Amino acid sequence: MDKQLERVYEAVIARNPGEAEFHQAVREVLESLGPVIQRHPEYLEMKMLERICEPERQIIFRVPWMDDKGEVHINRGFRVEFNSALGPYKGGLRFHPSVYLGVVKFLGFEQIFKNALTGLPIGGGKGGSDFDPRGKSDAEVMRFCQSFMTELYRHLGEYTDVPAGDIGVGGREIGYMFGQYKRITNRYESGVLTGKGIGWGGSLVRTEATGYGTVVFAEEMLKTRGESFDGKRVMVSGSGNVAIYAAEKAAQLGATVVGFSDSSGYVVDEAGIDLDLLKQIKEIERGRVSDYVDRRSSAKLGTAGSIWDVPVDVALPCATQNELNGEQAATLVKNGVKVVAEGANMPTTPDGVHIFQDAGVLFAPGKAANAGGVATSALEMQQNASRDSWSFEYTEERLTDIMQNIHEQCATTAESYDRPGDYVLGANIAGFDRVAKAIQAFGLV
């Protein structure tokens, strides 16, 4: 890393102690920006890097709620409104026991560049809570969401901050939070939350968007080598919203998706996964991967090693951060992987990324490859603002165009800095440049 950028990074660590995920996300971006500051030394003079690395606002609050037995619980809520240079803060809410300020800041920081790459007028933010919705009744989840929104609502608005879902926050949770927002404000402000139900302001394709977009981006990468998904073996980690619909789109394009996972283990299904069964277990029954194996004779439950031990042509890590390490990356390379596209946020560790790049594997970082979700959230905001509702086909066409444009931006930017095929550098520089120019235009604010 450039010495001047190293000093910026050291200052970030000093100002944000103990936030390992945030440190990792900042370093990954700064390592790409050396060529930029050589071309634009004014960015250093204006302290542009320091300004982008410091959130505009960080909100932490108490969330008290009562379970079905009458016991009181206290969780912690977060919203980091990171950067609004391009539009209102936009980014999901994550409900998971691992959530703390460092995770929220890492996600919000990534969101700045991801949202910039979409070309849409949205800034970067993220939020959530250390609440675990797994195993809770609908009534318990409702009471938690209502308590969470009772504090958060005062910081939101369709021109200020527009959350969506993330891990642990799906249509059920968005519904409860939107209901509470509407109750408190006495306003049917559809554009204040995205990921809503279709019947009350949601957008078609939003459920599928992140997974579909990841596969569209990976397909564009394959095209640069004269290939496609047709006939490829694909592995998808995770079994949530992103993983399910990445698998669906890959199958539509002619691939055979041979596995998926959750926190309890992984499944290998050499016959190709049964998407209808997977959706039934995960989206309706909220079950585990073992339930799939119990009902599918061709499926086997992984009990040793890793999901990444299985030889595939395309790997789509769609679960959570730092799930694919250097050793696993080396195994994928040894087994002939051609493309890795991140459906989750920062699922590959830095050493894993370097192994893929050194081996000539086409590697797409999450801030580019998984931008389809937030892009379609912005399309949902457009529909809400115009009191309109678009067809599935038209919305998917818009999503596909956005993802293809993101790929073009990343590829063109990498080439312009003499690093053809380096999608990490291309995504970081393209996103940074758009945000930095907006910040520069606004003056010192």
Q: Which residues are annotated as a binding site for substrate?
A: 90, 111, 114, 165, 377
Report the number of secondary-structure helices (H) and strands (E) in the chain. 18, 13
- To which residue do tokens 């946020």 refer? 345
Distance from C-alpha of 186 to C-alpha of 173, rounded to nearest angstrom: 20
- For the chain, give percent helix, strand, coil, nearest 5: 50, 15, 30
Contact partners, residue 111, CB within 8 Å, separation at least 6: 82, 90, 91, 124, 125, 126, 374
> Token digits for 159?
């021109």
Say which amino acid occupies 92.
G
DSSP letter for 287, please.
Answer: -
* 82 neighbors 154 (Cβ within 8 angstroms): no
Distance from C-alpha of 376 to C-alpha of 402, rounded to nearest angstrom: 9
Distance from C-alpha of 273 to C-alpha of 34, rounded to nearest angstrom: 43
Distance from C-alpha of 360 to C-alpha of 339, rounded to nearest angstrom: 9
Binding-site sequence positions = 90, 111, 114, 165, 210, 241, 377
Distance from C-alpha of 387 to C-alpha of 229, rounded to nearest angstrom: 37
Say which amino acid occupies 61.
F
300 is catalytic: no
> Token digits for 108?
């919000």
CA distances from residue 429 to 6, 122, 442 in whole angstroms, order as listed: 17, 18, 20
DSSP letter for 190, please.
Answer: G
Task: Give the chain's end-to-end CA distance (angstroms, integer).
Answer: 28
Give the distance from CA 55 to its chain's centroid.
Answer: 19
* 72 neighbors 64 (Cβ within 8 angstroms): yes
Spatial CA neighbour of 158 closest among 375, 379, 381: 381
Distance from C-alpha of 345 to C-alpha of 111, rounded to nearest angstrom: 9
Out of 3, 69, 105, 126, pick the active-site residue: 126
Contact partners, residue 284, CB within 8 Å, separation at least 6: none
Q: For strands 89-95 and 123-129, give the pairing.
A: parallel
Instruction: Indicate the angle between helix axes 241-252 and 206-223, nearest 10 degrees.
Output: 50
Binding-site sequence positions for NAD(+) = 210, 241
* 140 neighbors 176 (Cβ within 8 angstroms): no
| Residues designated as active site | 126
